[in-house]
Chains A and B, each alone.
Chain A
């Protein structure tokens, strides 16, 4: 599809949109999982994200798009060889949003021997895969719960180490692969492996809007888009551009927002109340709250910020009891009330 539905034109689904914006502001929040009903625009929203991302600078002749500002040990082997002294030429490129299509095979995901060059020239050369392409950007997996198990293993491994190591056909290649994982799916088609679930910083539940006016608006806009995509995108270009500027500003502001002891304590209280496992929950909660505060233009994190981001940051980290009748969202809501008052 050449024309993508604009992000700003997506009706309702505020939590999903906010989670994606937070991931765009601070990638270290660690990925977004969007789970929910069919036909709620999950993949439309994720694919619309690309247009909101401000471009990034890369080392001009680097196959992996290394960041010229990054320390050497976080760059690829070629860049490391050049050493710290040389100031490499740089260029500006759009942030990659890479689709991992269903049915992708492992060799295309991790990279493999370049078949063409091997066949034509008899040369062994490494052809980078999707993970390399997604470096410093976003890797989107639609129907993430249908992903083959061995691909899930690869993703977990790379996401944990930030590095992709390929050993095959006598080739030995390692390159940095840091990306924000975005997954979407419908829980009725199958559950997500707990290890993979844990990898996502934020998890969003999307529901079909029940209110008639919203539904009418969704159908209306979609219809307008389909009839004249170019004109539709043009009408929304301003809003998208404003949102993009807001994201850029928020990124700049982010460093100046302190994670005060009070904030950390609040986050810890909340996690304790919910009995979440490990420290990832607290960390994600604080990071997401900071990014949200930056997005709102506030100078520091308040309870209001924590409250807003707590459900997506924590709902998938509750002690696993898939059979508890009260949904995890309800449990987070209860804990929020207990901690912060109604």
Chain B
């Protein structure tokens, strides 16, 4: 490998240093082609290393390249651009301002706290990434601006359910994890902006052979990467690596490097080993390759490796790049966090948007809390300007001296327009499913059926749904609030049954989730499906009397929060204990044996809040 891309040597170095060098390599590759490579996801909280990485990238990009920080709660108008009110008022004609994305043209947009980015904002960034320009149709202005930029997404997620919107994640080629990394003096790669600029100049002439394309595509299939973008992005990274190394053609080493960096973090399965056909699911998966930071045994036979077909080498490179914990997950047949398949939290990520149907504007006073509709105010003021200027010039306004300076726009109190929003309080229906053994034996299937019916109901009303299950020793959040029925159904179908009934834990978890939803301004509704036969206490200890006592306590605490709930008794015959839990919950009690589809949906509907108009 050429000295310009020194990463393969990193395997012989201490683990931390190796990880850092890999991150630095990613920065160099990204700097060569920010727009083509799309971006870098930078995992890890703020700290000196992250700062060092960002500074290093900035130095590589050179002083002329724009560097724009996008705050997580950025307004659409600021991101895309739109009417520049100040300039418009000063000039007396509509003037547009560039948004952050257009300002990042030719450089980098840094998304702060990308894991909290609302889906709607992410979609705007994605659209700009795809088209290389921003198209704005807002507030009376029409704009079209070049926006060829790369993204650095700062991912500070601490919990599993904080995920960068998948659509954005799909478009960012590189992922770096600096979490937990400690280095006193992070070394750099000895590259500078001039080297990067030279590589960028070489980039358009670099040829990628068919074998490179085939190897990358084959590897993405083998590692279960659905999106076609992965291979495309990997190819661009390989091209950047070749440019950086001063090659005219994409070499095998460029391909393996790109595969490791781009495909490795996206893997959702391990490739079937070539000797045997794909193992059936119940067999143990192939033995995991050595973790990347262990001294790499396969390096010893570097000569023999050169004989291997490129495709095998790519597979090996990707496998070697998989972190140990990811390997364990994959081996267990689970898609990793933020994987291409199903995880993600797009539904919940929409929570920040204060959506509401504008119910028009009205004339109004500027009070605290009122939202001035700038454009409508301007519109209201606009037609009167010539008249008002004449008035002012004549000095016919009481209390206003005559003046001949007529360049300013005159906005008067009568012009103020206040936006009104009709906001449907969004309902979040939280299903709490008892998946214990007693349920699993007879009624889990029926409970699932009931939930599906209710889900259909939620679908019609465009509610958010969340799914909690409790069994064994505790409760588990299977699906955070989302509007995707596809995902709700999937996680429901995968719900296993068996074990004790920790009803108290289930109620506690539901209360926590419901309170969180209420804090976001949603109306939570908890639907509890259980036979009420608690036999696991809060601390996980078995025993029916204590478990029941805890369940009733939990129910009282739940009721004290004033949360809406409904308990569907799923036992073959209505249970006295279930009715009692329902009573303590302040919940409506509905025995499933007597409930049909129509009754269920009526019951849910009656528990729902109605629309409200907010001024």
Contact = CB atoms under 8 A, between A and B. Distances in A.
Interface string B208-233: 10100110111011000011111110
B307 to A, nearest CB: 23
B231 A215 contact: yes
Contacts of A210: 221
A326 to B, nearest CB: 13
A48 interface: no
A318 to B, nearest CB: 14
A208 B137 contact: no
**A-B pairs, 3 with minimum CB distance:** A122-B386, A118-B382, A39-B229
Interface of B: 36, 76, 79-80, 88, 92-94, 119-120, 123-124, 127, 130-133, 135-142, 166-167, 170, 204, 208, 210, 213-214, 216-218, 220-221, 226-232, 235, 344, 346-347, 350, 355, 357-358, 375, 378-380, 382-387, 409, 452, 455-456, 459-460, 462, 483-487, 489
A1 B232 contact: no
A184 to B, nearest CB: 12
Interface in A195-252: 208-210, 212, 215-216, 218-220, 222-223, 226-227
Contact of B383 (A109, A122, A219): A122
Contacts of A212: 214, 217-218, 221
B138 A219 contact: no
A116 B227 CA distance: 45
B374 to A, nearest CB: 11
Interface string A33-66: 0000111110100000000000000000000000
B211 to A, nearest CB: 10
Contact of B217 (A118, A153, A216): A216
Given A39-B230, A43-B130, A186-B167, 11 more contacts: A41-B228, A107-B139, A107-B140, A119-B382, A188-B346, A190-B483, A191-B484, A212-B221, A215-B217, A216-B217, A222-B232
B208 A223 contact: yes
Contact of B382 (A108, A113, A142, A149): A113
A169 B379 contact: yes
A112 B119 contact: no
B378 to A, nearest CB: 7
A100 to B, nearest CB: 8
Contacts of B357: 149-150, 153
B347 to A, nearest CB: 7
B455 A115 contact: no
A219 B227 CA distance: 11
A306 B123 CA distance: 37
B39 to A, nearest CB: 15
A219 B166 contact: no
A113 B382 CA distance: 10
Nearest to B359: A150
A78 interface: no
A135 to B, nearest CB: 16
B228 A191 contact: no
B227 A216 contact: no
B217 A146 contact: no
Interface in A91-117: 99-109, 112-113, 115-116
Contact of A191 (B141, B232, B355, B462): B462
17 contacts: A1-B133, A103-B136, A112-B140, A112-B379, A113-B383, A119-B92, A188-B486, A189-B167, A190-B346, A190-B484, A208-B228, A212-B217, A216-B210, A219-B213, A219-B235, A227-B204, A322-B485
A225 to B, nearest CB: 11
A113 B137 CA distance: 14
Contacts of A38: 166-167, 170, 226-227, 229
B462 A101 contact: no
A342 interface: no
B459 A322 contact: yes
Contact of B214 (A120, A208, A216): A216
Given A149-B355, A189-B484, A219-B228, A143 B123 contact: yes
A263 B409 CA distance: 65
B385 A187 contact: no
A118 B381 CA distance: 9
A102 B123 contact: yes
A337 interface: no
A323 B227 contact: no
Nearest to B386: A122
Contacts of A188: 166, 344, 346, 484, 486-487
A102 B126 CA distance: 10
A37 B227 contact: yes
A39 B383 CA distance: 47
Interface in A124-178: 124, 127, 129-130, 142-143, 146, 148-150, 153, 169
Contact of A118 (B231, B347, B383): B383
A56 B184 CA distance: 68
B512 to A, nearest CB: 25
Nearest to B222: A212
B456 A321 contact: yes
A193 interface: yes
Contacts of B489: 322-323
A118 B376 CA distance: 13
Given A107-B375, A108-B142, A216-B217, A189 B346 contact: yes
A39 B171 CA distance: 9
B226 A37 contact: yes
Contacts of A150: 357-358
A103 B80 contact: yes
Contacts of A215: 217, 220-221, 228, 231
Nearest to A116: B94
A182 B503 CA distance: 49
Contacts of B358: 106, 150
A115 B379 contact: yes
A130 B94 CA distance: 19
Contacts of B93: 116, 119-120
Given A38-B170, A190-B347, A219-B228, A119 B127 contact: no
Contacts of B227: 37-39, 208
Given A37-B226, A104-B138, A187-B484, A124 B378 contact: no
Contacts of B487: 188
B416 to A, nearest CB: 15
Output the residue of A118, A149, A218 with the most chain B CB within 10 A.
Answer: A118
A292 B485 CA distance: 34
A119 B375 contact: no
A223 B207 CA distance: 10
Nearest to A207: B226
Contacts of A108: 137-140, 142
A257 B350 CA distance: 49
B462 A193 contact: yes
A193 B459 CA distance: 9
Contacts of A323: 452, 455-456, 485, 489
Nearest to A189: B346
A12 to B, nearest CB: 11
B92 A130 contact: no
